[in-house]
Copies of this chain bind each other. A is one copy, B any other.
Amino acid sequence: MIKIAVDLQGADRPQTELAEGAFRAVRDNEDLFLYLCGGRQELETCMKEQGFTSERIEFVDASQVITNSDDPAEAFKEKKDSSLIRGMQLCKDDPEIGGFVTCGPTGAIFVSALMLLGRIARVSPMLLVELSRPDGTPFCVVDCGANVDCRAEKLVDFARMGIAYMKAAGVSEPKVGLLSNGAEDGKGSAVVKSANKLLREQIPQFTGNVEGSGVFTGSADVIVCDGFSGNILLKTTEGAAKAAIAELRAMGVSGEAVDKLYAKYDHNIQGGAVLLGTKLPIIKGHGAAASQTVYNIIKAAYKLAVNRINEKIEREFTGA
């Protein structure tokens, strides 16, 4: 049985809506146990109204909510009874819990994860997002926004965590690419040029620089970049794909395939970013998450826990 803690508050939509995704996840997977953190009474009522019961759900009551307008450090000090911090505390206390899921604000997630869970080795925690190419093969982007200004050494750490993640996802020999403004080794900012050298020295899976277009046409399983560039890459991907689809619709092309593709690129609905580098993997859904998002990211957290992602990360750093 895999145990996951789920924070149902701090997102744009009400906890009862997000809880539906959690109920469905438990219904679909007999090996899954969920701690649902939020306003217990309302959640219990909601569950009763749906005529759903499960011994694999336990509620963790919280009277406070951390939102995007809270200062992360202050929220951590002042809102100990929030669903985010209650859930994170539970993860700290119970070593059987294999992952934490939340759609709360990124800053507060980072602060509480660092304070309560701590880091693996001396690693800078970062946000990983998985995307896929037209042929369906997945690749991941590290970092997607946690570390905005980075030294080159950090990018090597991101590469190692990305490799561990792709191994956990079933890719036996993940290839690593470095995001740059040119495919040649000499191209890039000063930091990217140094990172290219370090990756060539330290990461045998490194295959060279990748441009923004090569991300979709190349073969790199792990795209390494700082959090600023990764965020630009991720959000431009969403924006450009949705713009292209909007243009098609304006030209009269529509139908199920078009709608399906639009939904795929709508990270608000689909998406989850994985916070790696703390002692438990944390999946963060978008603040605009719907119940389907919660369903998807609980499934992703389950998979990471089953595949022991954090053991794989430690192995990448110790070389064991």
Interface residues of chain A, those whose CB is within 8 Å of chain B, are 133-135, 145, 148-149, 179-182, 188-190, 192, 211-217, 226-229, 231-248, 250-253, 255, 257-258, 260-261, 264-265
Q: List 22 A-B contacts (CB under 8 A).
A: A133-B243, A134-B247, A145-B181, A149-B189, A180-B228, A181-B232, A212-B233, A212-B237, A212-B238, A213-B236, A213-B239, A213-B242, A216-B240, A229-B232, A232-B232, A232-B233, A232-B236, A236-B237, A240-B241, A244-B244, A251-B261, A252-B257
- The docked-state distance in angstroms from the alpha carbon of A232 to that of B141 is 13
Contact call A239/B214, Cβ cutoff below 8 A:
yes
Q: Report how many copies the assembly holds.
A: 2
Do residues A228 and B181 form an inter-chain contact, with CB atoms below 8 A?
yes
Main secondary structure of the interface of A (DSSP, over half): helix
> Nearest 5 pairs between A and B by C-beta?
A212-B235, A213-B239, A212-B236, A181-B231, A134-B246
A234 to B232, CA, bound (A): 10
Beta-carbon contact of B253 and A239 below 8 Å: no
Contact B239–A212 (Cβ < 8 Å):
yes
Q: Which residue of B lies closest to A233 (CB)?
A: B236
Give Cα A34 to B136, complex, Å. 48
